[in-house]
Amino acid sequence: MGFERKKIIMVDDDRTNLTVVKNALIDRYDVFTVPSGEKLFGLFEKVAPDLILLDIEMPEMNGYEVIRKLKDSEQTVDIPVIFLSGMIDPESEIEGLNLGAVDYIFKPFSRELLLKRIELHLLLEAQKQELKRYSSNLEGMVLEKTQTVIELQNTVVKTVAELVESRDNITGGHITRTQNYLRILVNLLLKHGIYLKELEQWDIDLFVTSSQLHDVGKISIKDEILLKPGSLTDEEFEIMKNHAAFGRKIIEKIEESTPNNAFLEHAKILAGSHHERWDGTGYPLGLKGEEIPLQGRLMAIVDVYDALTNDRPYKKAYTHEEAIGIIEEGTGKHFDPLIGEVFVRYEKDFANADMGGEANPARTSSSAQLNMIIKTVSSIADIRGDGSAVGQAERVRRYLRVFVDALIKHEGYREELSAWDIDVFLMSAQLHDIGKIAVPGHILNKAGELTREEFDDVKRHADIGVKIVLQIKENVDDGNLLQHAEALAGSHHERWDGTGYPKGLKGKSIPLQGRIMAIVDVYDALTSHRPQRSMLNHKEAVSIVRNLSGGQFDPELVDIFLEHEKEFERVGVV
């Protein structure tokens, strides 16, 4: 049986455009051209297309009217539609996408870009149809098809958790141990019917995975307190206690863009409540008894057990027997009496727990989880600041979209960009400043000028960002999902004249991703509030970018930026 060529219909009232598109696609697809929306609907009697390319500006029935009619018909509602238009403005693009278009390509277009976009959307449509056909046996298929995304999201979560753990000077796998203890404890409660009604509503794998973020708020604590070898003063302990509320704040920030997410809900509760105590003397809210969420009551006991049985900067490890004695004494005071009783009764299960492997990964059902996890990581870096970076990831994404679309029209960049998956590039851009996780908060938030030593600390974030990305890539089968992240993290502070960091690269030895991000990052910083200064207006920022051409920035890219600076001004308004 031979390969069946896909059918594509091009709708445009300009016959030259119809001819150009047909010649561009005819080697791969069966192409049908029609000069109007009316003739498109007449053609459906003979041709069932796999995809439609649609112009916007047409007489009698424009492209928006055509897509509305397509989406109102059961026969045509699922046909993917790509707008191919000369209307180069964000409002037109947004309107088309809101009406149900899957993509928007500006004229004049690159043949390679057009083929790549068509190939992508035909593949997505084929996958969607495949899922529909096999809906009765979907679970196994979804698990197989999303395995790479699952591995990536769990690796990113683990990476963030280990970054927090390494700052706390905790060695020996606190995160992995507490995950395993939680799983043992939950299974024991289920076995004995304790808190059964609530636990049966949870995805236990998801809950256990989310526990990796229970101490994420420690990102906010200064090293001199976090790593202090002796006892904390009362004032220092009050500062340390802030990590619970701060951890909850981090997760709440992510929830603003990813609402109704069970993973984040568990993580938020765990971060904010694992230091509450049954008798009401805990923190941050002083909750008492069953006012404390079950997640926090579970985490409290495994967190304390692990802290007791391992070395800390301020103490040596207790024996298992000594730790159990402390937990038994704290049951009904520090710990939920029902949970404490089970923990003590089955203490040998915890003493003999196998810590050789990872806790089971959480199951997910959508690649949207990947974007959620990347947002979590990038937002942790953002939220360590004073709030000036709020919205930065979305602004930068929109600026990069404008820049990339502009570069595709230039012969010098078209070939390289046609090989990129632009959506992956834009997603990866959210990690460009992830290395700031390791920069002390008092330096990130300093209102005045940095000292040379402080600036050296800030400069470390580029190298650290690369290390984080490489650590993630080592643990996934498909490192291409983060193919741009390494270049973005490591090179967006290099300068065209070779005076940048971390490697002092010069000219086109700087990756294109870094040269693009350098301009976008500076433009966004100039037009946003920062601790060191007030924000500049668009005109002032553009003037500074222009003056840095050939010094800090690639002069060719600056010229392109200046050609499209009005588009940057428009999309910069959130």
**Domain identity same for 397 and 317:** no
**Domain identity same for 164 and 290:** yes
**Domain identity same for 273 and 311:** yes
**Domain identity same for 313 and 195:** yes
Q: pTM score, two decimals?
A: 0.53
pLDDT of residue 573: 59
Q: In whole angstroms, what is the distance from residue 58 CA to residue 84 CA? A: 12
Q: In whole angstroms, what is the distance from residue 195 CA to residue 201 CA? A: 11
Domain-terminating residue out of 133, 164, 193: 133
Question: Is residue 89 domain-resident?
Answer: yes
| Per-position DSSP letters for 228-274, written without gaps between them | -SSPPPHHHHHHHHHHHHHHHHHHHHHHTTS-S-HHHHHHHHHHHHT
Strand partners, 32: 9
Question: Is residue 286 domain-resident?
Answer: yes
At residue 519, the 3 state secondary structure works out as helix
CATH number of 36's domain: 3.40.50.2300
pLDDT of residue 262: 83
Question: Is residue 205 domain-resident?
Answer: yes
Q: Which amino acid would we find at residue 290?
A: E
Question: Is residue 374 domain-resident?
Answer: no
Question: Is residue 17 domain-resident?
Answer: yes
pLDDT of residue 395: 83
How far is residue 388 CA from its own chain's centroid?
A: 19
**Domain identity same for 188 and 246:** yes
Consecutive sets of 10 residues in the chain, 574 residues long: mean pLDDT of each?
78 92 93 94 92 92 94 91 85 87 87 90 84 59 48 55 55 78 96 95 90 82 76 89 87 70 88 96 96 97 94 84 96 97 96 62 40 54 49 81 91 87 82 76 76 87 82 58 84 96 96 96 88 82 96 96 92 64
Q: Which amino acid would we find at residue 191?
A: K
Question: Is residue 363 domain-resident?
Answer: no
pLDDT of residue 108: 83
Question: Is residue 527 domain-resident?
Answer: yes
pLDDT of residue 172: 46
**Domain identity same for 45 and 104:** yes
What's 451-512 look like in SS3?
CHHHHHHHHHHHHHHHHHHHHHHHCCCCHHHHCCHHHHHHHCCCCCCCCCCCCCCCHHHCCH
Reply yes or no: is the peptide bond before residue 49 cis, omega within 30 of 0.
no
DSSP classification of residue 6:
P
Domain-terminating residue out of 133, 166, 196: 133
**Domain identity same for 193 and 78:** no
Q: In whole angstroms, what is the distance from residue 176 CA to residue 166 CA? A: 13
**Domain identity same for 106 and 128:** yes
For the chain, how many structural domains are there in total? 3
**Domain identity same for 67 and 198:** no
Tell me the residue length of the chain. Answer: 574
DSSP classification of residue 367:
T
Give the residue from 470, 565, 480 showing the smallest Cα distance to 523: 565
Question: Domain span at residue 389?
Answer: 384-571
Question: Is residue 528 domain-resident?
Answer: yes
Both structure tokens of 252: 């709440």
**Domain identity same for 250 and 129:** no
Spatial CB neighbours of 174, under 8 Å, sequence gap ≥ 6? 165, 168, 306, 310
**Domain identity same for 35 and 180:** no
**Domain identity same for 332 and 462:** no
Domain-terminating residue out of 133, 161, 184: 133
